[in-house]
Structure 1
Amino acid sequence: MRAPEPLTGARVVVVNWRDLDHSLAGGAEIYAWQFARALAEAGAQVHFVTARERGRDGGQAAREDRDGIAVRRGGGPLTFYLFALAWLLRHRRRIDAVIDPACGLPSFSPLVLRRGTPALLVVHHVHQAQFAVHFPAPVAAFGRWMERVAMRRVYRRHVTAAVSASTVAQMRDQLGWTGDIRILENGAELPDPQQVDAAAKDPDRIVVLGRLVAHKRVDLALTAIRRAQERAELAGRRLSVDVVGRGPEQERLVALAADLGLADQVTFHGFLPTADKDALLARASVHVCASDAEGWGQAVIDAAAHGVPTVARDVPGLRDSIRPGESGWLVPDSQQPSDVVERLTAALTGALAEAADPRARQLRADACRAWAAKYDWSQMRLHAADLTIHLLGRVSALPDRHHPRDARVAV
């Protein structure tokens, strides 16, 4: 007789602001869905509570079953939190545990759960600096207080996880978090090795991956590419750029590309199905990421899995997902955008010079793929299931694989 799955009978809810089908879905949504998949594969009954995006065609369905997971949608960008708390309160007697990722802010699920119901807070990165980028001053101040004070108080008796050592450090330094923080890193969809052919890559093709939002600073990446093009022209090279992602910054970035004289060299693809994105990565030689900060560089690992190294700023999240000198290059950060652009340009110019050498391109692609292989989603799901089993008290201790690479982080 087959042994029961370790989470058989457990009723677990994953609460995430957006799901995979939301127009602004990004790495956090992939992570949340992979977590939900891990629970379902381990035998749990899983509900995924998320916002409902509406459109001219009616938008997303309020209820959907997908991959064995019951998706329940309601509320908009702000009212989602009220919807989520109301849903949890209504179903609290049928909930054994909640996985509560903080997408800026978490749902604050412990406020409505039964006493003793465990909630796992998952923090991607700290948003103290980003609230001011997206909201007016009074709203930004309230958001900072919610993240710095309210979140710590509500979750102080619950297990907390972060996606990288950088996020742990930010939680300690900026939020005053003193309790244990476990590390549950992201993953990647690793392509078939036969799909990665460094010899077939275009040495003049650059890719930029990620949502087109302000803090991703795609504007800095495009400006650096323009300057790198000026240097490449001296060698008779013409760069091509694929921007993959969608978001509210797209119109401004299209205009910027035109102003920089790159209109006929930059293609804005918007959202692409996995197969189409993989086809672009198969051709690209360099990935550029100029984000202000990340919890974890999901796009970086996705690129590395296809043998594409990344040029990026040395900021939280990116310094965790890039192995300098092997899977990419980190440039010193600065508060001055002009300094950042200058440093990105220098690193990108060097990366493109290396890409022009077939042997160097092959060695770099091999190093990238070896690094990415450490972060496949199957490993993440295994770790997520272990952590939830521990959360529910079904094991007294976690396997050694949960120990973070940074020994300074308590587990």
Structure 2
Amino acid sequence: MVNWRDLDHSAAGGSEHYAWEFSRALHEAGASVDFITARDRGQSRSDLVDGIRIVRGGNQFTFYLFAALALLRRRKRLDLVVDPECGIPSWSPLYVGRRTALVLVVHHVHQEQFATYFPAPLAWLGQVLERVVMPRVYRGVRTIAVSPSTHAEMIERLGWTGPVEVVANGTAVPPADRFDPAGQEPDRVAVLGRLVPHKRVDLVLRAIRDLTGDRPALRLDVLGRGPDEERLRALAAELGIAERVCFHGFVTEERKWELLRLASLHVAASDSEGWGQVVIEAAGCGVPTVARDVPGLRDSVRPGETGWLVADDADLDVVGARLSAAMAQALAELSDPGERDVSFAACQAWAGRFTWARMRSRVTEIAAAEVSASRRGRRD
């Protein structure tokens, strides 16, 4: 497994969870698994976790050289390389033997995100590597996308021509009977995830400001940490809503469920996602989501049943106004206990369809098929 972050990395998110569950699946099927990843500040060079050997080296940029050397050192004894694309893949086909099985995992297309996070020359390079080079290097490699919209974007934005199978993320929430719609507070809203610019938590803060006139008891819980936290705290103060917003930072799994069980609404305003992991986690607690109608989020929300989708626009002010209106509608509907009961049941039923056990079963089948095909090729 070659993934540029592991679960203990300070910037870990849903793609890291997917990579770890994939690794667990391979280990449980009898494979010896090395998890090649970058080394965050304070992390050791290697660990053994759940029987999986984690090998760390390099940072956001130098990791790719570290991964290349790690693959070259293992070249003669590798049966399989799983290569998740987190903006830029590890280019594993260039470093392993022709008889080593390969699986590429694509979470989402990053063309806009390169421009959001990097200066123009570096953003252009990232866009070219993803749009032009990656489809050529990985031509013929067995490919997994985590959502239908990711697959559609691969075709539309990257010109992808090979077959792609969709294997969605799973989720692991506590037993459904732990949650109760009667315990949800009508004016409590939650945001869950890393605090980074493309998650657009600032749009949610502005929406909270817009809605306080009609809903004076409105409160927002922000669950997560990230480099955007200081800016968001300052924005909440600037908007005059600091006392309405609680930034919880990193929370344990147990604390996450405690906070989500109190919310009546979850909001996801990201520019794009591979799959709405946080949407499904909220749904597992019986909490519906207002989300932008963008890749990933549109796959994880069932409009009219488990949430509301907000039409997207290039103008973020327009998106913000639409988000405020959708949140106002959602909170008004959910103020009715009967509506809340119906939404609660629909959300939990939807979330129940996505389990890590189901995901692990399918990726194990894919990996086994690729290794088997590779071994037949060796005998030939």
What one-letter code is carried by the residue in structure 1 that aligns with 2:44? A
Question: Which of 13, 17, 37 matches 1:50?
Answer: 37
| Aligned twin of 1:401 | none
**Are positions 1:120 and 2:107 aligned together?**
no
8 Å CA contact retained: 2:236, 2:245: yes
List gaps (5 residues or longer) in structure 1.
1-13, 397-411
What one-letter code is carried by the residue in structure 2 that aligns with 1:387? I
CA distance in 1 between counterparts of 2:211 and 2:149 reads 30
**Are positions 1:28 and 2:8 aligned together?**
no
**Are positions 1:203 and 2:186 aligned together?**
yes
Question: Which of 143, 155, 171 matches 1:160?
Answer: 143
TM-fit CA distance, 1:339: 1.2
CA distance in 1 between counterparts of 2:99 and 2:77 reads 13
The residue correspondences of 1:308-387 to structure 2 (distance < 5 A) are 308-387=287-366
Question: Which of 15, 38, 59 matches 1:76?
Answer: 59
8 Å CA contact retained: 2:100, 2:374: no
TM-fit CA distance, 1:160: 1.0
| Aligned twin of 2:238 | 259
8 Å CA contact retained: 2:193, 2:223: yes
| Aligned twin of 2:24 | 37
| Aligned twin of 2:132 | 149
What one-letter code is carried by the residue in structure 2 that aligns with 1:122? V
SS of equivalent to 2:247: strand
Could you tell me the TM-score, scaled by structure 1's length? 0.89
**Are positions 1:110 and 2:97 aligned together?**
no
What one-letter code is carried by the residue in structure 1 that aligns with 2:362? H
> What's the % identity of the aligned pairs?
56
Q: Which whole-Å deviations, capped at 9, do the CAs of 1:187-246 have from their partners, x for residues lacking one?
A: 11132122111111111111001111111111111111211222223xxxx111111111
8 Å CA contact retained: 1:190, 1:373: no
Q: Which whole-Å deviations, capped at 9, do the CAs of 1:52-95 have from their partners, x for residues lacking one?
A: 111xxxx1111111111111111111111111110110111121
SS of equivalent to 2:35: strand
**Are positions 1:213 and 2:190 aligned together?**
no
8 Å CA contact retained: 1:190, 1:376: no
Q: Which whole-Å deviations, capped at 9, do the CAs of 1:323-357 have from their partners, x for residues lacking one?
A: 11111000111111121111111111111112222
CA distance in 2 between counterparts of 1:273 and 1:98 reads 31
What one-letter code is carried by the residue in structure 2 that aligns with 1:198? P
| Aligned twin of 1:134 | 117
CA distance in 2 between counterparts of 1:219 and 1:19 reads 27
8 Å CA contact retained: 2:301, 2:308: yes
What one-letter code is carried by the residue in structure 2 that aligns with 1:125? H
What one-letter code is carried by the residue in structure 2 that aligns with 1:365? F
| Aligned twin of 2:378 | none
Question: Which of 237, 244, 256 matches 2:223?
Answer: 244
CA distance in 1 between counterparts of 2:30 and 2:78 reads 15
TM-fit CA distance, 1:394: 6.4
What one-letter code is carried by the residue in structure 2 that aligns with 1:378? A
What one-letter code is carried by the residue in structure 2 that aligns with 1:308? V
The number of aligned residues is 375
8 Å CA contact retained: 2:187, 2:215: no
TM-fit CA distance, 1:43: 1.2
Q: Which whole-Å deviations, capped at 9, do the CAs of 1:75-130 have from their partners, x for residues lacking one?
A: 11111111111011011112100110001111011111011212111000001111
What one-letter code is carried by the residue in structure 2 that aligns with 1:271? F
TM-fit CA distance, 1:395: 11
CA distance in 2 between counterparts of 1:207 and 1:53 reads 29
TM-fit CA distance, 1:259: 0.9
| Aligned twin of 1:7 | none
CA distance in 1 between counterparts of 2:329 and 2:174 reads 27
CA distance in 2 between counterparts of 1:259 and 1:376 reads 41
Further displaced range: 346-355 or 74-83 = 346-355
What one-letter code is carried by the residue in structure 2 that aligns with 1:273? T
8 Å CA contact retained: 1:326, 1:367: yes
| Aligned twin of 2:166 | 183
List gaps (5 residues or longer) in structure 2.
376-380
| RMSD after superposition | 1.3
CA distance in 1 between counterparts of 2:11 and 2:246 reads 19
**Are positions 1:289 and 2:268 aligned together?**
yes
Closer, same or farther: CA 296–177 of 1 in aligned 2, 3 Å: same
Closer, same or farther: CA 328–395 of 1 in aligned 2, 3 Å: farther
